[in-house]
Structure 1
Amino acid sequence: MQTDQPEDSVSKATAYAVRLLSRREYARAELAQRLSRKGYGRDTTETALARLEELGYLCEERFVEHFVRSRVDRGSGPMKIRAELQQRGVDGSLIDHGLREAGCDFSHLAADVRRRKFGDERPATLEEKARQARFLAQRGFAADHVRTALDVDPAELGLE
């Protein structure tokens, strides 16, 4: 049985990673994990990822930007977005930067998500208010975003 030469192995790992990146953006750690599962060693993986970064195919900042935008479009709050990015191995400072650069008013987004799910009327009972608050918290909105979403009239935010 013939073993791959190191350069050949790096080329194969790079080609595999390019195929993955052609479908969607990946975080560096996420892509490294995929290469490792495919059987590539740490040195081969690191060399392949460095090449991809050099070529501009792999960019952590771009990944974060796309990821944050897609999650905001789905109605996810900043806490959920942060947790998902951390699970993918993204550095905290990049996450902070990505959330800031998204330019999203998360209180406004929470109010819009609440309105789409529950209608224009604000919750009438304490139980209903708690139910809607739980829903927004599960979507990853912070307590201040939830409070604003529950207490502000949708017309005040221009949501009607």
Structure 2
Amino acid sequence: MTDTLKDALRKAAMFCAYQERTQQEVRDRLKEWGVWGDDAEEVIAKLIQQNYLNEERFAKSFAGGKFRVKGWGRRKIKQHLQQRGITGYNLDQAMKEIAPDDYRETLADLLDKKRRSLRDDNPLVIRQKLVRYAMSKGYESDLIFAVLGSED
């Protein structure tokens, strides 16, 4: 391994140690540093070998964090993970980070909080706004209607 590659590996390890990353994020950063092709793949392989880079760990951390902190639904989380190149097994593992009971409870809390912020007398308009809000957060329509139906 050349000094340039060793330097890139050291910098990439620090990049990954700071926060969980995907292989694509590391590949893009290496390209910025002038490392690409087989050299970039060698650095990524070393990072995986040294456990600096683990896409399953990234996916679980991402899904859990976006759900707990931002209140995102499964659809939105899945879409963002796919945009980052996470698919298959790692995507399935990430979705398992969200407990069904917590998921429904979080949606109910989000809808309740949103309802209190709405100023309208028409219950149909309020319901429409709540559905649209929950859909934008990435929740499934059948669950939204089930939660709203149980609150009426």
Using structure 1 for the length normalisation, give the TM-score.
0.82
Asked if the contact 1:25–1:63 (Cα under 8 Å) also holds between the matched residues in 2, the reply is: yes
* Pairing 1:136-151 to 2, within 5 Å after superposition: 136-151=134-149
> Identity percentage over the alignment?
27
**Structure 1 unmatched runs, 5+:** 1-5, 155-160
Q: Which of 100, 110, 113 in structure 1 is aligned with 2:110?
A: 113
Asked if the contact 2:76–2:137 (Cα under 8 Å) also holds between the matched residues in 1, the reply is: yes
**Structure 2 unmatched runs, 5+:** none
CA positional deviation for 1:83: 0.9
CA positional deviation for 1:127: 1.4
CA distance in 2, matches of 1:89, 1:12: 26
Aligned to 2:23: 28
CA distance in 2, matches of 1:66, 1:145: 24
Deviations 1:103-159 (A, max 9, x none): 24433321121112223xxx96111111110001000111122112322239xxxxx
Structure 2 counterpart of 1:92, one-letter code: G
Q: Which of 27, 51, 58 in structure 1 is aligned with 2:53?
A: 58
CA positional deviation for 1:56: 1.0
Asked if the contact 2:71–2:106 (Cα under 8 Å) also holds between the matched residues in 1, the reply is: yes
Aligned to 1:69: 64
CA positional deviation for 1:28: 1.4
- Check if 1:80 corresponds to 2:76: yes
Deviations 1:75-99 (A, max 9, x none): 0000110111111111233112210
Structure 2 counterpart of 1:116, one-letter code: K
CA distance in 2, matches of 1:56, 1:104: 30
> CA 1:58–1:104 in structure 2 vs 1: closer, same or farther (change >3 Å)?
farther
Using structure 2 for the length normalisation, give the TM-score.
0.86
Q: How many residues align?
A: 148
Structure 2 counterpart of 1:17, one-letter code: A
> CA 1:104–1:26 in structure 2 vs 1: closer, same or farther (change >3 Å)?
farther
**Comparing both structures, which one devotes a greater share of its residues to helix?**
2
